[in-house]
Amino acid sequence: MPTRDASAPPCRAEAGPVLPPPRGPVSAAVLDVLRGVLDTRALELLDPFDAEGDPYGEDLQLSLYCLYELHYRGFAEVHPRWEWDPGLLGLRAALEQSFADALRAEVAAGDDVDAELAGLLTEPADQDGRGVSHHLLRDGQLWQLREYLVHRSLYHLKEADPQAWVIPRLSGAVKAALVTIEHDEYGAGDPGRVHSEIFARMLRTFRLDHTYGAYLAAAPAKTLAEVNFMSMCGLHRELRGALIGQFAAVELTSSPGSGRLVRAMRRLGCPPEALEFYAEHVEADAVHEQLVRRGVLTPLLSAEPELAADVVFGIRASGLLAARLERHLLRRWAAGESSLLRPAESRPALKFERRFENF
């Protein structure tokens, strides 16, 4: 275990992303601990519920993201033993409680999973033509598409990893079906077909940084919150039903949006290799929809009907967070402003304009 004094444990070079700048007192303390310049006992003096007074805010969401990342690939020059430091885990629990309480307060309770799935399979009429994929298809600009990919990189470069945490919490037919879906997400044995690698290739095509976690410092809290919700549900056995609900929401709604993004890229004159990731998801997620409904949810709720309310919570909470991010993007873009904390570099786009007509 890491020492509890101000000096960090001996560190070996890690392949993870660099630590981001802080966004408030809580994230500043977390990052200082990970850098070895602050004693972990100082965390006990923090009141995480005062982080901006907002459980969805920049300080709390960045703090949570950095603490969760210790369970994934970690950070460059941060010793992997910090993953299980009691002080960091205690702070994480308090931050999670604030985040979870806010979601529970805002998300209506329910336990009718069939009705929830039916709603997912029908795009609401009041959203017709107004979502991000609709905007990008209709009249989005190249810089907006590139920004969207930056936002999505926080999840897609670790695609299916948060959901993998739930596998040992399942059994029988449910586990078999979910592993089948995860097998596809990880390329079905072909490293070149791993979805995170396909996404990385797309980023390279758009001359964006494809390295894992490269845009953490640029991603606003609304982007981090979506990934944090997945991590929180995946890392807590009691939230396994919510994680299945979140996974169902993604798999049942991905195909139409992915299809629009493919058409948006064609409208913008993007090269064929830029379309591969979303074209893959048009087909793959249509198949996964059936597996989630019949292979995962049906046997899960048959064996554990008490999880129905958690499944509905997972669906609705993930929808709430996705809608918050969509509104942020569309509002900033309508004002001609970047939706990122740090705009994606514009320099590389000029190469595309020379290579590809209208791109």
- CA 149 from chain centre, in angstroms, equals 12
Q: Give the burial string for 192-209 (b: 16+ CB within 10 Å, else e).
A: ebbbbbbbbebbebbbbb
The domains of the chain are located at 25-106, 113-355
Query: Which is more confident, 345 or 204?
Result: 204
Instruction: Give tens-digit pLDDT for 241-277.
Output: 999 999 999 988 888 999 999 999 999 999 999 999 9
Compute the chain's Rg from CA coordinates: 20
Report the distance separating Cα 177 and Cα 85, nearest Å: 34
What was the pLDDT predicted at 344?
73
Count of CB atoms within 10 A of residue 247's CB? 28
Instruction: Specify whether the CB–CB gap between 235 and 269 falls below 8 A.
Output: no
Rounded average pLDDT over 192-203: 96
Fold of the domain built from segment(s) 113-355: Heme Oxygenase; Chain A (1.20.910)
Instruction: Specify whether the CB–CB gap between 166 and 235 falls below 8 A.
Output: no
Give the residue from 103, 96, 222 showing the smallest Cα distance to 154.
222
Q: Is the pLDDT of residue 110 over 60?
A: yes
Long-range interactions of 351-354: CB distance < 8 A, separation 24+: 351/207, 352/142, 352/206, 352/207
Give the residue from 208, 206, 211 showing the smallest Cα distance to 264.
206
Taking the model in full, what pTM does it have?
0.91
